[in-house]
Amino acid sequence: MVRILVYSAAIFFWVLLVISFLIDRSRYRNCYFLFLSLASSIIAMTFLAGEHQKTVLVILFNIVIVTLLIVPIFLICNGVVMLRREGRSMANLLSLFFGIIIAVGEIATLVAVMIPILVGREWVTESYLRNISHISIFMSVTVIYISMCFVVFMLYCVFLMIIPRKRDFDYVIIHGAGLLDGDRVSKLLSDRLDKAIEVYHKDPTPPIMIPSGGKGSDETISEAEAMARYLIDKGIPPEQIIKEDQSLTTFENLKFSKRIIDSREGSKYTVLVTSNYHVYRALRYCRKNKMKCTGVGSHVAFYYWPSALIREFIAVHSEKKHLITFIIGWVLCMIPLIVMCFAH
């Protein structure tokens, strides 16, 4: 009976994910549907192990423990690499800070586990241990909650990167990025442009390319102009390019590009091309602009990806709706702990 329920749960969550994804791939609920689908599938797989079920569970438990120990070390090391290669800025410090926070949470969890062992020792009082225990548990649960929310977000961003998509587009919106020396395309931006060119050549009917980005205060030409020059140098016909050179933000990239698309005749099936870590947030802005888009992510250096994804996670959860939901979730996790503390 339990096995049937587990298998049914896995199938149910996958069906729910597919339906929700097809309706709107930018919805945040898809993150949780994917997580529940994967988690229930892993549990279902343990039942398939039959007599080796205990061995599989032990292996999975060890993998989780090792991962928990490695993650903060990796993030801290990644943060150091970011500082060396990208310079000092708050954005480049994110993986370092996140690694330290997770490490503190793991230490707090260890302390909470060790407290019962120290009960009865002469060199500490019971009240002192109780206070330390409460603080450690609160820190541990908070870090676990934040980490789980991030894992859910990360899994869906990776899912968006690998999911198959149609190739017959009418328009390709290319999101801009800062220029070097005021007029040169950066590595990050050239990766986006190369991915857009790949989409163009794979399309059976060549789409209209819309390089999108205005002129920053430290730039001599607009990002759209620099991108258009790059596209032409790579063999894209000038008549297949329409520049959007007024936007200054991701939201405006899509808002002003939509105006261009809406002003033209014919079908308007659109794909946006940006860095892989940025696809999900861009799709959310598509929905706010009432655009039906799919997203394609370009490659970024592996060392850059963790900090960039953390930045996207913070940006999404800074939106009022998701910030309130995030806080409510944290409070619900804390209520049992508060009750437990007052009970003692």
Cα–Cα distance, 142 to 186 (Å, whole number): 38
Q: Do 220 and 263 sit in the same domain of this protein?
A: yes
Residue 155 lies in a domain: yes
Q: Do 55 and 155 sit in the same domain of this protein?
A: yes
Q: Do 209 and 106 sit in the same domain of this protein?
A: no
DSSP 3-state assignment of 328? helix
Q: Do 64 and 157 sit in the same domain of this protein?
A: yes
Q: Are 211 and 189 in contact (CB under 8 A)?
A: no
Give the CATH number of the domain where residue 293 resides. Answer: 3.40.50.620
Q: Do 255 and 206 sit in the same domain of this protein?
A: yes
Q: Do 157 and 175 sit in the same domain of this protein?
A: no
Q: Do 215 and 292 sit in the same domain of this protein?
A: yes
Residue 21 lies in a domain: no
Q: Do 131 and 175 sit in the same domain of this protein?
A: no
HEC readout, 160-193? HHHCCCCCCCCEEEEECCCCECCCECCHHHHHHH
Going across the sheet that includes 270-275, the strands are 208-212, 171-175, 270-275, 293-298
Q: Specify burial of residue 120 (Cβ count, 10 A radius: 0-12, 13-18, 19+).
A: exposed
DSSP class of 244: B
pLDDT of 105: 83
Per residue of the chain (344 residues), give pLDDT as tens: 677 888 888 899 999 999 998 888 888 899 999 999 988 888 888 877 667 777 777 787 788 778 778 888 888 998 888 888 877 777 788 888 888 988 888 887 777 766 666 555 554 555 656 666 677 778 888 888 888 888 889 889 988 888 877 778 899 999 988 888 888 888 889 999 999 999 999 888 889 999 999 988 778 899 999 999 999 999 999 999 999 989 988 889 999 999 999 998 888 889 999 998 889 999 988 888 888 888 898 988 888 888 889 989 998 888 888 888 888 888 888 887 667 665 55
- Helix residue ranges per DSSP H, 163-208: 187-202
Q: How far is CA 136 from the centre of its chain?
A: 28
Q: Do 177 and 296 sit in the same domain of this protein?
A: yes
Q: Do 66 and 151 sit in the same domain of this protein?
A: yes
Residue 256 lies in a domain: yes
pLDDT of 122: 54
CA angle 338, 340, 344 (to 5 degrees): 115
What are the φ and ψ backbone dihedral angles of 178, each rounded to 5 degrees? Answer: -60, 145
Q: Are 19 and 50 in contact (CB under 8 A)?
A: no
Cα–Cα distance, 213 to 252 (Å, whole number): 9
Nearest CA to 175 out of 269, 276, 87, 42 is that of 276
State the residue range of the domain holding 68.
Answer: 49-162+322-343
Q: Which residues on neighbouring strands pair with residue 273, listed in sequence order?
A: 174, 296
Q: Do 243 and 215 sit in the same domain of this protein?
A: yes
pLDDT of 120: 53
Count how many domains the chain has: 2
Residue 298: both structure tokens together: 């370009």
Residue 153: both structure tokens together: 């977000």
- Helix residue ranges per DSSP H, 250-319: 250-262, 279-288, 305-317
Amino acid symbol at 29: R
| DSSP one-letter string for 78-111 | HHHHHHHHH-S-TGGGHHHHHHHHHHHHHHHHHH
CA angle 284, 201, 189 (to 5 degrees): 50
Residue 11 lies in a domain: no
Residue 73 lies in a domain: yes
pTM: 0.81
Q: Do 133 and 223 sit in the same domain of this protein?
A: no
